[in-house]
Structure 1
């Protein structure tokens, strides 16, 4: 019976800790504002451009919010990519993201990906390495292999789908990619999440981190606390696994 199902409830702070705040398009004033929001609400990460890392590190000092940035966004050569990662970490970044396109996977294959991830992980250590994979443009089986390879080569986090644009990772892909990663690595569903229900559904499927408007999500979470609590849906009980939020069943 549904009443005997073990339930997980989250606090507003728990929800905030699932969100990576993106400031990749922010000017200095907006970057500082997003740093304040990330600190006050307890975000997991503040993502910024490499040149903004020192500012973010200063603004977030002592907050526990990780400063993350992306390297290799402009198709730098191998040596420049490693130098870029080293510079970001020297400036204080504690998470380095390495984007990998579908073309990269097709051109170099899994072996090439493993070598690149190992090289960047070695330079970036002890910072977290995140490998960003494409979304629905690549078959799920290929994403599984790439995620498992990146994880074994030293990535702590694998993200799937673009944070903007059309190449989003389908909800149905989260569970198989999570299974490929194993329990000790983190999976980010990168496409922007616009509702608490969508976040909770993807979290139940196995996603650990999200892009979202932190203030909006936390405001919704506070309202949910006042109306019975923030309940993580249970697959097979509250919704059909791999399907969208329209399958959530009334409690």
Structure 2
């Protein structure tokens, strides 16, 4: 997953700032994500992770700063857009149709996320893990260069977390850029190459080795130290 360390960035966040009324959510947020690497956008709830992603996707206009993206983007932010009464296969075909994609592409991504045998299952009957897989399948439909995953481990059991970790690694090995926003620091440490620690502003941006020496406990300790220093 390291071949993109010196490659041209897939996305560049340049001095993003955003306020809602008197509350400043982001202040001069700058970092890059590169192909062939998994970047963790880490921070507690309320740190500005979702706002950063919404700026990336054009859902929120920053007060200042820019986001530049090269290539196609696939995103999972939640599964609230799924209709509970349709089947898994039908839901994905609706999404594919909106993108002008074929049924063959639907079958490909269903196999990739392990849902090929669940196409007739109604969304309302799916477990949280299956919904996460369906969200990921939807994000993979356009064959994205940049895959954005917002809290992808929420609600997953240990087997599901391991599956997600393996798949993310495979996608990065294919040359894709993966950006994971999460507050689950110790688990994400097993997945990412690079880390951006966010709490309204960037507290750290660099490789996992620089921050926590690939040790989940050290990553969590390093994050807490950064957050403490910011608040002092």
Q: Same fold (TM over 0.5)?
A: no
The two structures have a TM-score, normalised by structure 1, of 0.39
**Structure with more of its chain in strand, by fraction:** 2
**Structure with more of its chain in helix, by fraction:** 1
The two structures have a TM-score, normalised by structure 2, of 0.42
